[in-house]
Amino acid sequence: MARLIRTEKEVEGRYTEQWVVVEEDVLEQWPEGPLQTVGRPATRVDGLARARGEARYTQDLRLPGMLHAAVLRSPHARARVTRLDLEPAMAMAGIRGVIGPSDLEPLTNEPNYEGEAVAAVAADTVAQARAAVEAIDVEWEVLEPLLDAEQALAQKSFVTNPRDYERGDVERGLAEADAVVEAEYRTQSVLHNALETHQSACEWEGDTLVVYTSTQFLWGVRDEVAKAFQLPKDKVRVICRFMGGGFGAKGSAGDYTMIAAELAKRTGRPVHCRLDRREENVNSGNRNPTIQKLRLGARSDGTLTAIDAEYECLLGWDGWLPPTAGPAQMLYACENVRTVERGVRLNTPPMDAFRAPGFVEGTFGLECALDELAAKLDLDPLEVRRRNHADHDPMDERPFSAKELMECYRRAEPHWERRHEVRARSEGPVQRGVGLATQLWYGGGGPPSYAWVRLGGDGTVTVVTAMQDIGTGTRTAMAQIAAEELGIPLERVTVELGDTAHGPYAVVSGGSSTTPSMGPAVRSAAADVGRQLIEIAAQRFETEERVLRLENGKIVSDLGGSWAIEDITGLLEDGQILGNGARGPNPTGMRVLTFGIQVAEVAVDMETGEVVVERIYAVHDVGRVINPLGAESQIEGGIIQAIGHTLSEKRLLDPQTGKVLTRTLDSYKLPTFADVPEIVAELVDKPDAHLTNLGSKGLGEPPIVPTAAAIVNAIRDATGADVREIPVDRETMLRALAEAREREKRGAPAAV
Amino acid sequence: MVNGGLHEVDVPVGTTLADALRDVLGLTGTKIACGEGHCGACTVQLDGVPVLSCITLVHTVGEREVTTIEGLREHPLVQAFVEADATQCGFCTPGQIVSAAALLAATPRPGHDEIVHAMSGNLCRCGTYPKIERAIEAVAAENRGG
Ligand code: FES
Ligand code: FES
């Protein structure tokens, strides 16, 4: 029965209370371990389409009569448009439409960051559109941008109200400590750089607006666009069958969608608006920089007595305050915790979610400080983490729905033990060391999410749901789940997704929520088909439903005898069996989180400051694993991205003008083939007994969370230097080494 | 010549090979991710040599043989990429396969360093590198007859 409940909904650590109607989950979880299909490695069901270059991305759309848009963006971090003449653009060859600030909401004549959109044109070709943008006659009054964090804090320039949290008494906790670490950590701005840039093509079909877009959230785009154009929601149809990466930055419609839709309306033709790489790197979101002031105290046995943390999150002009204090609040069973998070507003491009927003930054500071504390106390860092293990949610005493962190620690032990052997391999200027860091993140997903499953007369199964596969392999995971439930081979299942007009509502692919939200819905839809199949079989073979069950693609009777599924579906000819499924509620009164630990091995050249990551061991607890092969790829991908933000990636701004200097893939250093270490990935793979009919959590984000801290802790192990900022480029490394030498000269003991 | 077929294209001077392939010939398997020669997504082969089609002007191609992913669909690397799970979002994948195919043609049994060297111009933001290496090694092992 449908039940109306008020529930907490979490996406990327943002909690809201809302009403949802949920179907009670009536299915028992499958037993633990690899089953027929679920839990076994599966190659991607859409792998061939992608590898053969047949997959059609938004960038590959060629709609008849399609025009191309280009956007006039502010070259200044803060300015006022004093004169704007669109006429010269309109007069140019191939131009079909021009819009300015008075025509559309996101266009402005008072830009507050570089790249904010001012005007846009649509033309027959991209080159014509670009030329027309150049021809727009615009004069700017350049205003003084606010770029300095200190100054912004003094002026109380915030995007949202600061967030405070407190339990116990940190001052008392610090007074009780035998050792205290007080330090400042900094993280940089990181650019997503999905290889497919942000883009949409919009086309009006009568009163319906069709939006083809590279997105992580079809339904979010639908709602935003419907609101902006004052349309009933279902008069906006959003389509994305293949998308070329998002990593958090493609969760909303973006100015390019609104521009394409408005220009399509005015010209009566489809319009494609695509950011180029340089626009992408200025204007499509970023991981916000942070300045973290931490004080950690512990007793001589390593028990944490206090965590005091202040986070300045430099969000840029807009955005939201990511849960940067989450790890400090939830990772350890510390009684005295105080955190402050401030979302500082500056005249820089707005942040957007980037794979585990907040937790990547917060884990870096916390886990580095904890290692510094362990060094001061001369304790084993792994032991310190065990000692402070939280058996229940330290924020509100709620039990965890499941937590296998101790098992992760146990499995990491032999990899941590390698440190003696790794250190011994140091030679000459190249010093080697090992470090570790714990991971904590959300990833439980939630309702509402729906799926349909249809079984055709020929025995093939199609899963239909309007979700998206952003490259994480969710199509494959959904197919595996349906195949498992119906006891049929994976090859018999097709997954249709990516179109709000073709299938029910599905969650955002963000916050590691796709599999834990959609998987249970798909399973319950498949089970609905299974139930009907048995009802029909019982009638056909004149037996009772309760003696029949589905097994290995057959209907098996307890009384002996079995029939192929086709013996039933074959009766239907063109008839179909249609199943409905919905995501059930999350367990009440429980905290659903993912956990893990990574162990990094590094080599540091003490003369050049070069840091090479040689090996990463990762073990994560995300409940039941649907596809171990795809999961391994997710872990590798997360770690490689993390190596990027740990060692080489950094958005640089001109300190005077606030302009982004790293606009190209030449100046912004993504990890390449040559930067990849040996990666050993493991998953605990134990279903969360309290979470849904699957017991699965999301894996998109956990692997990127602890890597930076593990690497930096390995650097300390190798060199004795405390690195407190990322990226650790050579300059940063050499500075930290010089400081360590200074400290040694002054007689203070170096880290152990 | 594109993938064994003769094509004559009539486009403005300055048109890139990538645009000609995608917009004139409809061969959208070749992707454009940066458009300025920094990422390798647009890699095609010119007479067997990998080039960046986004910074190659089409009128310089002349009679040479262009091979795109559409011409390599039956290459064993395609299946190997799928089996190794070397594609996530897949946007870089065609360029990766075109580069890897050129590598294997020149060096049927590449070692780790040769793979890294040949593939370092192809960025993958999803981080499929370890799996790509596995895919290349799988095909190389077949070349070895193993
Ligand atoms: S698209 Fe040609 S190198 Fe990036
Ligand atoms: S698979 Fe996404 S960029 Fe390579």
ipTM of the complex: 0.97
Residue ranges in A487-602 assigned as alpha helix (H): 514-540, 565-569
Answer yes or no: are the C-beta atoms of B53 and B44 closer than 8 Å: yes
pLDDT tier, A21 (very low <50, low <70, confident <90, very high otherwise): confident
Residue A307 is predicted with a pLDDT of: 98
A44 and B35 within 8 Å at the Cβ level: the answer is no
Q: What is the pLDDT of residues B122-143, one digit of tens each?
A: 999 999 999 999 999 999 998 8
Q: What is the CATH number of domain B17-70?
A: 3.10.20.30
Residue A744 is predicted with a pLDDT of: 87
Starting at the edge strand found earlier in the chain, the sheet holding A163-167 runs A163-167, A337-345, A304-316, A290-298, A179-187
B30 and A277 within 8 Å at the Cβ level: the answer is no
Task: Please provide residue A42's backbone torsions phi and psi, each rounded to the nearest 5 degrees.
Answer: -130, 135
Q: What is the pLDDT of residues A114-144, one digit of tens each?
A: 999 999 999 999 999 999 999 999 999 999 9
Residue A484 is predicted with a pLDDT of: 97
Nearest to A273 by CA among A74, A102, A71: A71
- Amino acid in the structure at residue A58: T
Relative to beta strand A611-621, strand A678-683 is parallel
Residue B125, ligand 2, Cβ within 6 A: yes
pLDDT tier, A219 (very low <50, low <70, confident <90, very high otherwise): very high
Tell me how far apart the alpha carbons of residues B47 and B7 are, in angstroms, rounded to a whole number: 15
The alpha carbon of B43 and the centre of ligand 1 are apart by a number of angstroms equal to 7
Q: What is the pLDDT of residues A657-671, one digit of tens each?
A: 999 999 999 999 999
Residue A245, ligand 2, Cβ within 6 A: yes
The tokens describing A593, both together, are 């989180």
Q: Where are the beta strands (DSSP E) in A86-224?
A: 95-99, 117-123, 137-142, 163-167, 179-187, 199-205, 208-213
Answer yes or no: are the C-beta atoms of A562 and A550 closer than 8 Å: no
Mutate to test the pocket of ligand 1, among B16, B30, B36 (most ligand atoms within 8 A of CB): B36
Residue ending a domain, among A582, A616, A639, is A582
Indicate whether A465 pLDDT > 60.
yes
Percent of chain B beyond pLDDT 70? 98
> Is position A506 within any domain?
no
Q: Rounded to the nearest 10 degrees, how much is the dihedral formed by the CA atoms of A395, A399, A401, A405?
A: 70
Nearest to A707 by CA among A647, A639, A652, A660: A639
> Is position A389 within any domain?
no
Task: Supply the mean pLDDT for chain A.
Answer: 95
pLDDT tier, A26 (very low <50, low <70, confident <90, very high otherwise): confident
Tell me how far apart the alpha carbons of residues B106 and A652 are, in angstroms, rounded to a whole number: 39
Answer yes or no: are the C-beta atoms of A576 and A532 closer than 8 Å: no
Tokens 């590279």, residue?
A214
A62 and B124 within 8 Å at the Cβ level: the answer is no
Fill in the DSSP letter of residue B69. G
Nearest to A677 by CA among A605, A737, A606, A611: A611
Tell me how far apart the alpha carbons of residues A371 and A721 are, in angstroms, rounded to a whole number: 12
Q: What is the pLDDT of residues B4-37, one digit of tens each?
A: 999 999 999 999 999 999 999 999 999 999 999 9
List the end-to-end C-alpha distance of chain B, in Å, as a whole number: 34
A243 and B30 within 8 Å at the Cβ level: the answer is no
Sorted by sequence, the CB contacts under 8 Å of residue A255 that are 6+ apart come out as: A71, A106, A107, A117
Please tell me whether residues A629 and A709 are part of one structural domain: yes
* Residue of chain A minimizing CA distance to B15: A127
Measured in angstroms, the CA of B121 and the nearest CA of chain A are apart by 8
* Residue of chain A minimizing CA distance to B78: A51
Tell me how far apart the alpha carbons of residues B119 and B129 are, in angstroms, rounded to a whole number: 9
In this prediction, residues A2-7 reach a mean pLDDT of 76
Ligand index nearest the alpha carbon of residue B30: 1
Q: What is the pLDDT of residues A582-622, one digit of tens each?
A: 999 999 899 999 999 999 999 999 999 999 999 999 999 99
Residue ending a domain, among A283, A307, A323, is A283
Sorted by sequence, the CB contacts under 8 Å of residue A553 that are 6+ apart come out as: A486, A487, A488, A489, A564, A565
Q: What is the pLDDT of residues A410-436, one digit of tens each?
A: 999 999 999 999 999 999 999 999 999
Please tell me whether residues A605 and A735 are part of one structural domain: yes
Q: What is the pLDDT of residues B87-106, one digit of tens each?
A: 999 999 999 999 999 999 99
Among B36, B83, B87, whose Cβ lies nearest the Cβ of A277? B36
Q: What is the pLDDT of residues A686-745, one digit of tens each?
A: 999 999 999 999 999 999 999 999 999 999 999 999 999 999 999 999 999 999 999 888
Q: What is the pLDDT of residues A37-80, one digit of tens each?
A: 999 999 999 999 999 999 999 999 999 999 999 999 999 999 99
Answer yes or no: are the C-beta atoms of A287 and A190 closer than 8 Å: yes
The CATH number given to whatever domain includes residue A113 is 3.30.365.10
Indicate whether A27 pLDDT > 70.
yes
Residue A15 is predicted with a pLDDT of: 77
Any residues with Cβ below 6 Å from ligand 1, and which?
B 32-35, 37-42, 52, 54
Tell me how far apart the alpha carbons of residues A618 and A600 are, in angstroms, rounded to a whole number: 9
> Is position A535 within any domain?
yes
Domain boundaries, position A275: 61-144+192-283
The alpha carbon of B123 and the centre of ligand 2 are apart by a number of angstroms equal to 8
Q: Where are the beta strands (DSSP E) in B68-109?
A: none
Please tell me whether residues A409 and A483 are part of one structural domain: no
* Atom of ligand 2 at shortest range from CA of B89: 2
Tell me how far apart the alpha carbons of residues B81 and B128 are, in angstroms, rounded to a whole number: 10
Please tell me whether residues A590 and A691 are part of one structural domain: yes
- CA A705 to chain centroid, in Å, comes to 10
If DSSP codes are grouped into helix, strand and coil, which group holds residue A397?
coil
- Amino acid in the structure at residue B73: R
Residue ranges in A323-473 assigned as alpha helix (H): 326-330, 359-377, 381-387, 405-417, 419-424
Tell me how far apart the alpha carbons of residues A633 and A641 are, in angstroms, rounded to a whole number: 12
Residue A175 is predicted with a pLDDT of: 98
Sorted by sequence, the CB contacts under 8 Å of residue A122 that are 6+ apart come out as: A67, A68, A69, A95, A96, A97, A98, A129, A263, A264, A266, A267, A269, A271
Does residue B95 belong to the interface with chain A, where contact is any CB pair within 8 Å? no
Indicate whether A333 pLDDT > 70.
yes
pLDDT tier, B145 (very low <50, low <70, confident <90, very high otherwise): low
The tokens describing A394, both together, are 């330290």
CATH homologous superfamily for the domain B72-144? [2Fe-2S]-binding domain (1.10.150.120)
Tell me how far apart the alpha carbons of residues A391 and A726 are, in angstroms, rounded to a whole number: 31
Residue B109 is predicted with a pLDDT of: 95
Residue A748 is predicted with a pLDDT of: 59
Among A245, A673, A679, whose Cβ lies nearest the Cβ of B125? A245
Q: Please give the tally of structural domains in chain A.
A: 3
Mutation target vs A (from B88, B99, B120; most A CBs, 10 A cutoff) = B88
Does residue B98 belong to the interface with chain A, where contact is any CB pair within 8 Å? no
The alpha carbon of B93 and the centre of ligand 2 are apart by a number of angstroms equal to 6
Does residue B89 belong to the interface with chain A, where contact is any CB pair within 8 Å? yes
> Is position A355 within any domain?
no
pLDDT tier, A1 (very low <50, low <70, confident <90, very high otherwise): low
> Is position A121 within any domain?
yes
The alpha carbon of A381 and the centre of ligand 1 are apart by a number of angstroms equal to 44
CA dist list (Å): A573 to A222, A532, A567 = 37, 16, 11
Please tell me whether residues A212 and A275 are part of one structural domain: yes
Please tell me whether residues A461 and A547 are part of one structural domain: yes
* Atom of ligand 2 at shortest range from CA of A244: 2
Residue A13 is predicted with a pLDDT of: 76
Indicate whether A22 pLDDT > 80.
no
Residue A752 is predicted with a pLDDT of: 41
Nearest to A272 by CA among A335, A200, A332, A172: A200
Indicate whether A107 pLDDT > 60.
yes
Answer yes or no: are the C-beta atoms of A625 and A481 closer than 8 Å: no
Indicate whether A751 pLDDT > 50.
no
Does residue B26 belong to the interface with chain A, where contact is any CB pair within 8 Å? yes
Relative to beta strand A562-564, strand A554-557 is antiparallel
DSSP for A16-45, written as a single string: EEEEEEEE---PPPPPSS--SSTTS----T
Percent of chain A beyond pLDDT 70? 99
- CA A406 to chain centroid, in Å, comes to 25
Please tell me whether residues A604 and A746 are part of one structural domain: yes
Summary count for chain B: helices (H), strands (E):
5, 3
The tokens describing A748, both together, are 């203070």
Please tell me whether residues A122 and A244 are part of one structural domain: yes
The tokens describing A95, both together, are 């131009």
Sorted by sequence, the CB contacts under 8 Å of residue A684 that are 6+ apart come out as: A404, A407, A408, A411, A619, A620, A621, A622
B83 and A277 within 8 Å at the Cβ level: the answer is no
Residue A118 is predicted with a pLDDT of: 98
Residue B46, ligand 2, Cβ within 6 A: no
Nearest to A60 by CA among A197, A188, A255, A181: A197
Residue ending a domain, among A283, A300, A335, is A283
If DSSP codes are grouped into helix, strand and coil, which group holds residue A412?
helix
Domains B17-70 and B72-144 fall in the same CATH topology = no
The alpha carbon of A329 and the centre of ligand 2 are apart by a number of angstroms equal to 34
Tokens 């209907």, residue?
A555
B31 and A244 within 8 Å at the Cβ level: the answer is yes
Measured in angstroms, the CA of B54 and the nearest CA of chain A are apart by 13
Sorted by sequence, the CB contacts under 8 Å of residue A389 that are 6+ apart come out as: A332, A333, A405, A406
Tell me how far apart the alpha carbons of residues A530 and B135 are, in angstroms, rounded to a whole number: 38
**Contact residues, chain B, for A241 at CB < 8 Å:** none
Residue A749 is predicted with a pLDDT of: 54
Residue A750 is predicted with a pLDDT of: 47
B90 and A48 within 8 Å at the Cβ level: the answer is no
Answer yes or no: are the C-beta atoms of A750 and A740 closer than 8 Å: yes
CA dist list (Å): B117 to A263, B64, B100, B103, B133 = 45, 25, 11, 10, 12
Residue A306 is predicted with a pLDDT of: 98
* Residue of chain A minimizing CA distance to B133: A673
Q: Domain spans of chain B? A: 17-70, 72-144
* Atom of ligand 1 at shortest range from CA of B123: 4
Tell me how far apart the alpha carbons of residues B125 and B143 are, in angstroms, rounded to a whole number: 29
DSSP for A440-483, written as a single string: EE-----S--EEEEEE-TTS-EEEE------SS-HHHHHHHHHH
Mutate to test the pocket of ligand 2, among B69, B81, B88 (most ligand atoms within 8 A of CB): B88
Q: What is the pLDDT of residues A235-255, one digit of tens each?
A: 999 999 999 999 999 999 999
Mutate to test the pocket of ligand 1, among B28, B51, B52 (most ligand atoms within 8 A of CB): B52
DSSP for A597-659, written as a single string: EEEEEEEEETTT--EEEEEEEEEEE-BS-S-HHHHHHHHHHHHHHHHIIIII----B-TTT--
Residue, of A529 and A553, whose pLDDT is higher: A529
**Contact residues, chain B, for A664 at CB < 8 Å:** 34, 36, 38
Nearest to B69 by CA among B60, B78, B58, B61: B78
Long-range contact pairs involving A299-302 (C-beta distance under 8 Å, separation at least 24): A299/A176, A299/A177, A299/A178, A300/A178, A300/A179, A300/A377, A301/A379, A301/A387, A302/A374, A302/A377, A302/A379, A302/A383, A302/A384, A302/A387, A302/A388
Answer yes or no: are the C-beta atoms of B94 and B45 closer than 8 Å: no
> Is position A391 within any domain?
no
If DSSP codes are grouped into helix, strand and coil, which group holds residue A319?
coil
Indicate whether A157 pLDDT > 90.
yes
Measured in angstroms, the CA of B123 and the nearest CA of chain A are apart by 6
Please tell me whether residues A234 and A265 are part of one structural domain: yes
Please tell me whether residues A220 and A261 are part of one structural domain: yes
**Contact residues, chain A, for B68 at CB < 8 Å:** 53
Tell me how far apart the alpha carbons of residues A508 and A524 are, in angstroms, rounded to a whole number: 20
